């Protein structure tokens, strides 16, 4: 009896040391809600296939099938995505149902049915998204200065979740609406600047909310949501001046299934690089909190240049139309810079530790680099199909390579040389400037094979 007990004890210790035999397997750790979510995803995909398979080509059917395990894994990996998926699916289907008439779908009902007109048509949902992102950013910043800051930050976080939900509803409904305009017009809404800015806003916010949940702090939100609000500001201008919200047919180069993979992967990179840069900025603010000499407050002046330079960049368009909009944008930007300058000590007290900011910055860049690499490879394959060559040194391709090399060097220095702190933060900010030019600047100032993306 004693020998058996001793043997069992040794085996138990071996199991504790190796970590085997004590932790249940991956599938054994799933609860009933996990399996219900899996069943929901499978049933939804099956319904979509039965209902819309006639409008799908072979590639789209393969993407739908591949989406099923990906969605299930994402819902199991981060459980808030389960509720998000169900709510988005429910309201998207409600919108599709509200468009129906005895004679088929009628897009004119977007101006006739209350819920469609004010909430869940694509344009209504995206406008609500814009308002809620602004409100979320405001609540996060109020939380920086109020004693009961945690309450305001919680409100900011909740509003960010609602904004992401409405952005996804707007995207799904817009996808449906495009197919109702004409058989050759329907496409996944990631084809122009309006659509990809919506993609950037919700995707960047979703990644930030993940880091917020994992690190159990909402005190990074004020900085992370600034870049989202800046994108929303551009989106609203682009909508008002260029009427970009109108659904347009795809140009021939975009009629490819590669677009469905290349663009989302690209914007995971853009979004996470933006988060890293804003947290790098927060790092530098925290570092310079005790500094009183104006010329030492370089990070604050950098923010002023970035925010206030944008109206100058769009000066030509502003002169043609919407100049008052950019004057307001300039004024709000100046107020933001002044507020950060005035309250930098209070902000520094509320921010997480240097270690947390540095770690999130690193993880965001690592994720972004992985997806940007995938997007670059997919873009080369797309180019080979569309233009007959994998690489042509087009300005967009060249700047994509510059972005890739910049973050490859950052990660190399981090992993091989232990890059940390101030240098890493400044480098991440420079990386955002490079990425922004690759994303928008090339479209404005350069031409080439990607000229269909001009402003």
In the prediction, which pLDDT does 319 show? 45
Task: Please report the pLDDT score of residue 388 as a whole number.
Answer: 78
Q: Which two tokens stand for residue 326?
A: 């950019």
Q: Angle 195-366-351 (CA atoms, 0-180°, nearest 5)? A: 85
Q: Give the pLDDT score at 312.
A: 53
What pLDDT shows up at residue 3? 42
Residue 2 lies in a domain: no
pLDDT digits (tens, 9 = 90+) for 394-419: 888 899 999 999 999 999 999 999 99
Give the pLDDT of residue 1: 42
Residues of the chain with pLDDT under 50: 1-16, 18-20, 315-319, 322
What domain range includes position 434?
30-453
Question: Could you tell me if residue 426 is inside a domain?
Answer: yes
Is the residue at 277 inside a domain? yes
Plot region of 30 (φ>0 → left; ψ -120 to 50 → alpha; else → beta): beta
**What's the pLDDT at 449?**
58
pLDDT of 171: 96
CA dist 110 → 63, 205, 241, 263 (Å): 29, 28, 22, 28
Residue 184, pLDDT score = 79
Q: How many domains does the chain have?
A: 1
CA-to-CA separations, 16 to 21, 24, 27, 103, 421, in angstroms, rounded: 8, 13, 21, 66, 37
Alpha helices for 182-192 (secondary structure H):
none
| Structural domain includes residue 8 | no
Is residue 13 included in any domain, yes or no?
no
Residues 314, 309, 398, 415, Cα dihedral to 10° = -150
pTM: 0.89
171: left (phi over 0), alpha (psi -120 to 50) or beta: alpha
pLDDT at 300: 60
Distance CA 197, CA 83 (A): 24
pLDDT at 91: 97
Is 427 inside any structural domain?
yes
Within a domain: 18: no
What's the CA angle centered on 217, arms 212 and 222, to 5 degrees?
75
């Amino acid at each position: 009896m004693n020998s058996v007990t001793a043997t069992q004890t040794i085996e138990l210790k071996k199991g504790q040391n190796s970590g085997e035999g004590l932790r249940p397997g991956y599938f054994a750790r799933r609860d009933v809600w996990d399996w219900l979510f899996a069943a929901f995803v499978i049933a939804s995909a099956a319904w979509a296939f039965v209902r819309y398979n006639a409008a799908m080509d072979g590639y789209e059917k393969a993407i739908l099938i591949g989406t099923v395990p990906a969605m299930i894994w994402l819902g199991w990996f981060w459980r808030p995505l389960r509720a998000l998926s169900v709510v988005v699916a429910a309201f998207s289907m409600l919108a599709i149902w509200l468009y129906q008439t005895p004679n088929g779908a009628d897009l004119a009902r977007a101006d006739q049915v209350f819920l469609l007109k004010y909430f869940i048509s694509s344009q209504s949902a995206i406008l609500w998204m814009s308002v809620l992102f602004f409100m979320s950013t405001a609540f996060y910043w109020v939380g920086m200065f109020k004693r009961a800051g945690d309450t305001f930050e919680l409100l900011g976080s909740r509003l960010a979740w609602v904004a992401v939900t409405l952005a996804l509803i707007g995207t799904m409904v817009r996808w449906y609406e495009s197919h109702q305009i004409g058989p050759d017009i329907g496409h996944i809404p990631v084809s122009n600047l309006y659509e990809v800015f919506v993609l950037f806003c919700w995707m960047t916010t979703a990644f930030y909310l993940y880091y917020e949940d994992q690190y159990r702090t909402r005190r990074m939100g004020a900085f992370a949501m600034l870049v989202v609000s800046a994108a929303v500001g551009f989106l609203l201008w682009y909508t008002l001046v260029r009427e970009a919200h109108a659904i347009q047919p795809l140009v021939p180069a975009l009629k490819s299934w590669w677009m469905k993979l290349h663009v989302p992967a690209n914007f995971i990179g853009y979004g996470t690089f933006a988060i890293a840069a804003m947290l790098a900025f927060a790092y530098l603010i925290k570092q310079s909190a005790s500094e009183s000499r104006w010329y030492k407050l370089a990070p604050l002046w950098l923010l002023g240049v970035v925010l206030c330079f944008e109206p100058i960049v769009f000066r030509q368009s502003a002169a043609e139309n919407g100049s008052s909009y950019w004057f307001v944008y300039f004024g709000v930007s100046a107020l933001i810079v002044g507020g950060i300058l005035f309250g930098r000590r209070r902000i520094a007290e509320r921010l997480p530790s240097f270690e947390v900011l540095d770690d999130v910055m690193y993880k965001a860049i690592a994720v972004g680099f992985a997806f940007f690499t995938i997007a670059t490879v997919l873009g080369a394959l797309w180019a080979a199909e569309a233009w007959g060559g994998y690489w042509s040194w087009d300005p967009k391709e060249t700047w994509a390579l510059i972005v890739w090399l910049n973050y490859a060097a950052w990660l190399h220095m981090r992993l091989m040389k232990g890059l940390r702190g101030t240098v890493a933060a400044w480098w991440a900010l420079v990386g955002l400037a490079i990425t922004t030019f690759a994303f928008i600047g090339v479209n404005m100032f350069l031409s080439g094979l990607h000229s269909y993306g001009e402003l």
